[in-house]
């Protein structure tokens, strides 16, 4: 077994087991519980009143904005990860330390500027 892939074998096994566990729990309830659907039960719950409007209507654009912001910043975080785990080793090398430091400072400054821009454009206001 290739040493690079060996740690991922348990990941696959556990994934299969966990999926099986979830399926067993949910199916057990399906078999053991009673099933008596009535007309009242199939109305969406709105505190006992008849449904006021269709639930699947348009939603605030703020949620889309948040999703786009998340994509951008989460990717940036993922870019920082490999650098962060090598930073300590790079600092030991005198010739490379300024490059390792300066490169990331530049990157973080650009990220911060992006964040400030989003903020000033009102992407984070929930008024």
Partner 1 sequence: MSLGELVLWGLVKFVAIVFGWVMLVATVLTYIERKQSAYVQNRIGPNRAWIGGKRFPLSATIGQILADAAKVLFKEDTEPPRGGNPILHQISPALAFIPALLMWIVIPFGPGPMPGAEGENWFLIADVNVGLLLMFAIMSVSVYGGVIGAWASNSGFSLLGGLRVGAQMISYEVTLGLNLVGIFMIFGSMRLNDIVWGQGDLAWGIVVQPVAFILFMVASIAETKRAPFDMPEAESELVAGYFTEFSSMRFAVFSLSEFIALIAVAAVGVTCFLGGWQIPWVDTPVDAAGVPVYGWITVAQVGIFLAKMIFLIWLQMQIRWTLPRFRYDQVMKLGWVYLLPLSLLNLFVTAIVMYLAR
Tell me if 107 sits within 8 A of 80, measured CB to CB. yes
Provide DSSP, 74-109.
Answer: HHHHHHHHHHHHHHHHHHTSTTTHHHHHHHHHHHHH
Q: Is 113 in the site for partner 1 (CB under 8 A)?
A: no
Q: Shortest gap between Cβ of 69 and partner 1 (angstroms)?
A: 7
Q: Which of 49, 95, 106, 111 binds partner 1 (CB under 8 A)?
A: 111
**51-90: which residues touch partner 1 (CB under 8 A)?**
51-53, 55-56, 59, 62-63, 66-67, 69-70, 73-74, 77-78, 80-81, 84-89
Q: Is 7 in the site for partner 1 (CB under 8 A)?
A: yes
What does the alpha-carbon distance between residue 77 and residue 55 come to, in Å, rounded to a whole number?
35
């Amino acid at each position: 077994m290739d040493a690079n892939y060996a740690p991922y074998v348990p990941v696959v096994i556990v994934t299969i087991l966990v999926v099986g566990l979830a399926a067993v729990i949910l199916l057990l309830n399906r078999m053991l519980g009673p099933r008596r659907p009535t007309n009242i039960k199939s109305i969406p719950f709105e505190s006992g009143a008849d449904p006021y409007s269709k639930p699947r209507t348009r939603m605030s654009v703020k949620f889309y904005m948040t999703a786009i912001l998340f994509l951008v910043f989460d990717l940036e975080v993922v870019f920082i990860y490999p650098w962060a785990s090598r930073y300590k080793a790079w600092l030991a090398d005198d010739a490379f330390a300024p490059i390792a430091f300066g490169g990331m400072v530049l990157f973080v400054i650009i990220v911060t500027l992006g964040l400030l821009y989003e903020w000033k454009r009102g992407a984070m206001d929930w008024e």
